[in-house]
């Protein structure tokens, strides 16, 4: 199956505010939120020009703004960008936003080379684009200044290829447009090929709530039963592996 940007955009347009609650209902466990925040607090300085790509409704845009960054907010979903604006406004932080733009991580041509001190890509855009991940990483690198920082968090495939097949089988049963997750080794090769220096890497295996995860993908009835039976970690929760990378350009 091929990456289809229109499908991803309309999925997230329809997903709406449910993206905001992923850290509250166990779809992504609470400690993971803390790890995301720690990374921003450690690597963002006041006045930094930051691109938040795949920003969604703004959980981390808000933190970037609080840290004093000048934030460019980008997402493939116009619906998520509207929610992002509402959240930042409600927090009284909209004045920290330089610009908000619809953009696919595969094509950041609207920004010049080296436009940002820091580029943040949290929550999975790299997982959606599969064989195009090479282009995505090259774009993240291009828009980040020399000596700047790229902070990435994504779900990764297990090292064991059979376990990776199992995860992909489950994900596909849940959402037929899923293709495959990339393993750590593939991501690292991409980083190296782009001349990036890995500064830190953090890794977590998490148990995520299964019911809301299936529900949100519209997976019901027999399909839901089939997906639940394939869940790595069993019916009581889906076990997923997340990885955070901080890279110096
Ligand atoms: C799981 S959400 C993460 C939102 C936020 N960064 C967070 O961590 O809470 C994924 C977001 O990435 C966006 N996205 C998915 N594919 C993308 C792509 N190819 N380019 C830009 N954004 C993308 C979605 O629209 C969605 O808002």
Enumerate the domain spans of the chain.
5-159+179-207+241-248
For residue 233, the model assigns a pLDDT of: 84
What topology is assigned to 5-159+179-207+241-248 in CATH?
Rossmann fold (3.40.50)
- Give me the pLDDT at residue 55, please: 97
Closest to 52 (Cα-Cα) out of 115, 121, 5 = 121
- Asked if the model's pLDDT at residue 119 lies above 70, the reply is yes
Higher-confidence residue of 197 and 134: namely 197
Pocket of ligand 1 (CB under 6 A): 8, 12, 19, 53-56, 59-60, 75-77, 80, 104-105, 122-125, 128-129
Q: Which atom of ligand 1 is nearest to the CA of 153?
A: 8
Is it the case that residue 1 has pLDDT exceeding 60?
no
Please give the distance, rounded to the nearest whole angstrom, from the Cα atom of residue 104 to the centre of ligand 1.
Answer: 9
At a CB cut-off of 8 Å and minimum separation 6, what does 224 contact?
Answer: 214
For residue 84, how far is its CA from the centre of ligand 1 (angstroms)? 12
Alpha helices in the chain (DSSP H): 5-15, 30-43, 59-66, 78-90, 125-129, 133-143, 161-174, 184-193, 210-216, 221-230
Q: What is the pTM of this model?
A: 0.93
CA 55 to ligand 1: nearest atom:
6
Nearest atom within ligand 1 for CA of residue 106: 19
What mean pLDDT is reported for the chain? Answer: 91
Q: Give the pair of three-digit tokens for residue 76.
A: 């493939």
Q: What is the pLDDT of residue 128?
A: 67
**pLDDT score of 26:** 74
The larger pLDDT score, comparing residue 88 to residue 161, is at 88
The three-state (H, E, C) secondary structure of 75-94, written as one string? ECCHHHHHHHHHHHHHCCCH
């Amino acid at each position: 199956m091929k990456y289809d940007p229109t499908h991803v955009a309309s999925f997230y347009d329809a997903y709406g505010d449910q993206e905001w609650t992923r850290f509250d209902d166990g779809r992504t466990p609470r400690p993971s939120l803390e790890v995301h925040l720690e990374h921003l607090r450690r690597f963002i300085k006041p006045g930094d020009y930051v691109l938040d790509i795949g920003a969604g409704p703004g959980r981390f845009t808000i933190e970037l703004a609080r840290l004093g960054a000048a934030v460019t907010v980008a997402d493939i979903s116009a619906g998520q960008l509207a929610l992002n604006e509402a959240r930042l406004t409600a927090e009284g932080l909209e004045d920290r936003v330089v610009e908000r733009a619809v953009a696919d991580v595969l094509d950041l041509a609207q920004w010049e080379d080296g436009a940002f001190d820091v580029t943040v890509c949290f929550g999975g855009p790299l997982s959606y684009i599969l064989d195009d991940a090479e282009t995505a990483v090259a774009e993240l690198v291009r828009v980040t200044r020399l000596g700047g920082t790229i902070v990435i968090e994504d779900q990764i495939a297990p090292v064991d290829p059979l376990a990776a097949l199992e995860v992909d089988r489950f994900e596909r049963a849940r959402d037929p447009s899923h293709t495959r997750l990339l393993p750590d080794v593939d991501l690292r090769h991409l980083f190296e090929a782009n001349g990036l220096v890995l500064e830190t890497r953090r890794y977590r295996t998490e148990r995520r709530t299964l019911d809301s995860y299936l529900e949100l993908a519209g997976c019901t009835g027999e399909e839901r039963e089939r997906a639940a039976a394939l869940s790595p970690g069993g019916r009581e929760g889906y076990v997923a592996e997340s990885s955070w990378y901080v890279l110096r350009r």
